[in-house]
A and B are shown apart, each in its own frame.
Chain A
Amino acid sequence: MKVIGTTSALSALALLAVQSIASAQGTFDRSKPPELGPPPRVSLPPILTRQLPNGLRLMIVEQHELPLADFVLLVGSGGTVDPAGKTGVANLTSSMLREGTTSRKSLDIADQIAFLGINLSPTSSWESSTLSLHTPTAQLDSALALFADVALHPSFPANEFERIRKTRLTELLQLRDQGPAIANIAFPAIIYGSAHPYGLPLIGTEASVKSLTTADLQSYYQTNFRPNNATLIVVGDVSPAQVEQKINALFGNWQRGDVPQLNYNEPPKSGTTTIYLIDKPGAAQSSFRIGSVGVPRSTGDYFALTVMNTILGGSFSSRLNQNLREVRGYTYGAGSRFDMRRAAGPFTASAEIVSAKTDSALLEFMKELNGIRQAVPPSELSRAKRYLQLQLPGNFETTQQIAAALVPVALYGLPLDYFNNYVQNIEGVTQADVARVAQQYINPGSLAIVIVGDRKTIEQGLKAVNIGPIAIRDISGQLIQ
Chain B
Amino acid sequence: MKKRPLLVALCYLILGILAGPRADAQATPRIQFEKYQLPNGLEVILHEDHSTPIIAVDTWYHVGSGDEQVGRTGFAHLFEHIMFMGSQHVPVGTFDQLLESAGANNNGSTTEDRTNYYEVLPSNALALALWLDADRMGFLLPTMDLAKVDLQRDVVKNERRQRVDNVPYGRADEIILAALYPKTHPYSWPVIGSMSDLSAASLTDVQNFFKTYYAPNNATLTIAGDFDPATVKKLVAQYFGSIPRGPEVKRRLTVPNVTIPRDTFLVLEDKVQLPRVFYTWHSVKGFSKDDAALDILAQIIANDKNSRLYKKLVYDLQIAQNVGAFQDGSRLDGKFQIDITPKPGQKVADIDRIVQTEIANVINTGVAPRELQRAQNLYKASFLNRLASVLGKAEVLNSYNYFIGNPDYVQQDAARYERVTAADVQRVAKTYLGRPKIVLTVVPEGKKDMMLTASGGGR
Contacts and interface: CB of A to CB of B under 8 A. Distances in A.
Nearest to A13: B122
Given A34-B128, A322-B93, A354-B158, A65 B273 contact: no
B80 interface: no
A389 interface: yes
B52 A166 contact: no
Contacts of B370: 111, 115
Contacts of B162: 285, 331-332, 352
Of B100, B121, B151, B304, chain A has the most CB atoms within 10 Å of the CB of B100
Contacts of B125: 36, 39, 390
Contacts of A42: 53
Interface string B38-74: 0000000000000111100000000000000000000
Contact of A30 (B22, B89, B122, B306): B89
A178 B167 contact: yes
A104 B135 CA distance: 59
Nearest to B169: A177
A242 interface: yes
A65 B306 CA distance: 33
Contacts of B153: 329
B384 interface: yes
Interface string B118-136: 0011111101100100110
B298 interface: no
A39 B127 CA distance: 13
Contacts, number: 223
Contact of A399 (B123, B304, B318, B388): B388
A173 B273 contact: yes
B207 interface: no
B105 interface: yes
B157 A354 contact: yes
Contacts of B385: 68, 134
Of B122, B226, B311, chain A has the most CB atoms within 10 Å of the CB of B122
Interface residues of A, number: 82
Interface stretch (A71-79, A256-264, A379-387, A456-464): A379-387
A40 B227 CA distance: 11
A139 B26 contact: yes
Contact of B29 (A66, A167, A171): A66
B156 to A, nearest CB: 8
B413 interface: no
Contacts of B120: 394
Contacts of A316: 96, 100
A64 B96 contact: no
Contact of B135 (A30, A134, A137, A317): A30
Of A30, A114, A329, A391, chain B has the most CB atoms within 10 Å of the CB of A114
A107 to B, nearest CB: 6
B389 A116 contact: no
B396 to A, nearest CB: 13
A469 interface: no
A14 to B, nearest CB: 13
A243 to B, nearest CB: 11
B194 interface: no
B25 A137 contact: yes
Of A32, A163, A284, A398, chain B has the most CB atoms within 10 Å of the CB of A284
Contacts of A283: 166
Given A36-B125, A398-B388, A114 B1 contact: no
A118 B26 CA distance: 12
Contacts of A389: 103
Given A326-B93, A383-B100, A387-B101, A284 B161 contact: yes
Nearest to A20: B124
B100 A317 contact: yes
Contact of B315 (A37, A38, A163, A327): A163
Of A68, A176, A177, chain B has the most CB atoms within 10 Å of the CB of A177
B168 interface: yes
Given A114-B374, A173-B274, A325 B155 contact: yes
A136 B381 contact: yes
B111 interface: no
A396 B122 CA distance: 12
B168 A138 contact: no
19 contacts: A33-B98, A40-B122, A41-B53, A114-B375, A117-B26, A117-B380, A137-B26, A138-B22, A138-B24, A177-B168, A283-B166, A330-B158, A352-B161, A353-B158, A354-B161, A383-B101, A389-B103, A391-B105, A397-B52
Given A30-B135, A117-B381, 14 more contacts: A30-B89, A33-B131, A34-B127, A65-B3, A117-B377, A136-B381, A138-B26, A176-B273, A239-B16, A285-B162, A316-B96, A331-B155, A398-B388, A398-B389
For the complex of A and B, list the 6 residue pairs with the smallest distance between their C-beta atoms, beginning with the closest: A390-B103, A329-B154, A117-B381, A40-B53, A110-B305, A114-B374
